[in-house]
Amino acid sequence: MTLGIENKVVVITGASSGLGEAAARLLAKNGAKLVLGARRIDRLQALAKELSLGPDAVVQTDVTVRDQVKRLVDRAVQSHGRIDVIINNAGLMPSSRLERLHVDEWDRMIDVNIKGVLYGVAAALPHMIAQKSGHIINVSSVAGHKVGPGGAVYAATKHAVRALSEGLRQEVKPYNIRTTIISPGAVATELTHTVTDPVVAEGMRKTYENAIPADSFARAVVFAMSQPENVDINEILFRPTAQVY
């Protein structure tokens, strides 16, 4: 079902690869108007060219910098007059055992996975309140529901995404704004490439042996977006059929 996707103005962070790229491809196929953000501008530009989006559809964006996230959302409003959906997708997973004291990695995950989502909300919410419509999709994880050894900080950031998203859901009811949390399990992306702890990396390798393609996430996005305006899909949790964790 792709009802209502055509002509919706959608902003996606972390759109240069993985989940964000897959969502961009499927949404473009169904007629959405996209504005894509990521740090790797060359990959964004190549994707925009492939999808025939035009040069104004990409904005180099580091989600840890609030002004850059605001510029991304403002580009969508300037180009199309509104923003219907923001997908706060950018994330990192350099998981490690706490005893290794990878504090710089902890800081980076907090900045990208939590503050980056909040900056996306802060950029989109004023426009959506003014419109009295909109849809905010925040990406959590199975780790937002379960904690495993070596993943404490990553899980904490993804639990935080779910908590702030639930608070947001309750607060935006007067403005006709919908909210969705999407929590993927093992999906084939570049996310595992950032794991530096060899013990954790081996555990990840085993978990991701059954990883499913990123278009599984894209279909979840389309499902949530395609509902009638009076239906609010608040959370989707999905895994590979074979995944135990």
Mean pLDDT of the chain: 95
State yes or no: pLDDT of 116 exceeds 80.
yes
Domain boundaries, the chain: 9-238
State yes or no: pLDDT of 201 exceeds 90.
no
CB 177 within 8 A of CB 136: yes
Hey, which CATH number is domain 9-238, 3.40.50.720, 3.40.1440.60, 3.40.1030.10, 3.90.79.10? 3.40.50.720
Query: Considering only CA atoms, which of 149, 162, 58 is closest in space to residue 113?
Result: 162
Q: Could you tell me the two tokens for 43? A: 């990959």
CB 27 within 8 A of CB 34: yes
CB 184 within 8 A of CB 139: yes
Indicate the DSSP class of residue 74. Answer: H
Angle of CA points 167, 110, 139, to nearest 5°:
55
Cα 210 to chain center, whole Å? 22
Q: Is 154 a catalytic residue?
A: yes
Share of the chain above pLDDT 70, in %: 99
pLDDT confidence of residue 169: 98
Distances from the Cα of 170 to the Cα of 179, 185, 221, 234, angstroms: 9, 26, 21, 11
CB 143 within 8 A of CB 162: no
Return the bridge partners of 180, or none. Answer: 137
The model carries a pTM of 0.96
Q: How confident is the model at residue 55 (pLDDT cuts 50, 70, 90)?
A: confident
Q: How confident is the model at residue 163 (pLDDT cuts 50, 70, 90)?
A: very high
Q: Mean pLDDT lowest for which of 129-138, 142-151, 183-192?
A: 183-192
Marked catalytic residue, from 154, 175, 208, 245? 154
Q: How confident is the model at residue 245 (pLDDT cuts 50, 70, 90)?
A: confident
Q: Give alpha helix (H) positions in the chain.
A: 18-29, 41-50, 66-80, 103-109, 116-131, 152-171, 198-207, 215-225
- Assign 3-class secondary structure to 85-124: EEEECCCCCCCCCHHHCCHHHHHHHHHHHHHHHHHHHHHH
pLDDT confidence of residue 2: 59
